[in-house]
Structure 1
């Protein structure tokens, strides 16, 4: 009976961690959607107002979204590491600790997360598109 309770504790703790991982993943997805939406809106304002400053603002906003998205990926990676740690714990060692800061190093750090391959493709492509529009507007 006691081992069943301990196994339930472990599964519940893993569920809690998985919920945080899912929330970070959803936040990252929403950030990407908002960045594309904002860029499209700023391009529309730039075309309507014939003002190149809107295009420059897109660079700033894209950079800000990239930084925020890197933060969410870093948090997700840290909680994945916490998940792995808890998964390997014995059932009687479960303490429901949700602090993942101990895993904020190496690949899980914010700086390393900024340069994840997916971000280089996604935000790099956005930066190239913004540059192309800026060049096209200057002509």
Structure 2
């Protein structure tokens, strides 16, 4: 069976709609990653303030699980964002090469091997690693 390529260009309403939808998903994933960082810093700060107020420094390690949980969520959202960016780029490449299939207009799946890239992201390790260092530093300073 021969594949039937679509004859579309950049100005086609269906192409513009598809790209708008994918861009919206990318924006939501980036927003979710930002929310993870915001919630994490808020929760960790609150935990450390309450622990300092109650004069129970040995409980400062309770701030570690939220850092790990929100860090994992952030990596997940970053991986999805990267996958949808790969999908967006592949769509554009097919469009310009004239090899766009009807199924490409209705596909909303992230593509590529993007999970390892997200795990190695500086934005993830710098933020959550810094929080872990701050928690460890606070715990160590109080026990001295």
TM-score by length of 1: 0.85
The 1:87–1:132 alpha-carbon spacing in structure 2 relative to 1, beyond 3 Å, is same
TM-align CA RMSD: 2.1
Q: CA–CA distance in 2 between the matches of 1:126 and 1:71?
A: 19
Q: CA–CA distance in 2 between the matches of 1:3 and 1:61?
A: 47
1:57 to 50, 59, 62: 62
More helix by share: 1
Mark the runs of 5 or more structure 1 residues left unpaired by the alignment.
none
Question: Considering only CA atoms, is the larger Rg found in Structure 1 or Structure 2?
Answer: 2
1:95 to 67, 87, 105: 105
Mark the runs of 5 or more structure 2 residues left unpaired by the alignment.
1-6
Structure 2 residue aligned with 1:85: 90
- Runs of 4+ in structure 1 off by over 4 angstroms are 2-6
Q: Equivalences for 1:1-139 in 2 at 5 Å?
A: 3=8, 7-52=12-57, 54-90=59-95, 93=101, 94-100=104-110, 102-103=111-112, 105=113, 108-109=114-115, 111-139=116-144
How far the C-alpha of 1:6 sits from its partner, in A, is 7.7
Aligned residues between the structures: 133
How far the C-alpha of 1:51 sits from its partner, in A, is 2.1
TM-score by length of 2: 0.83
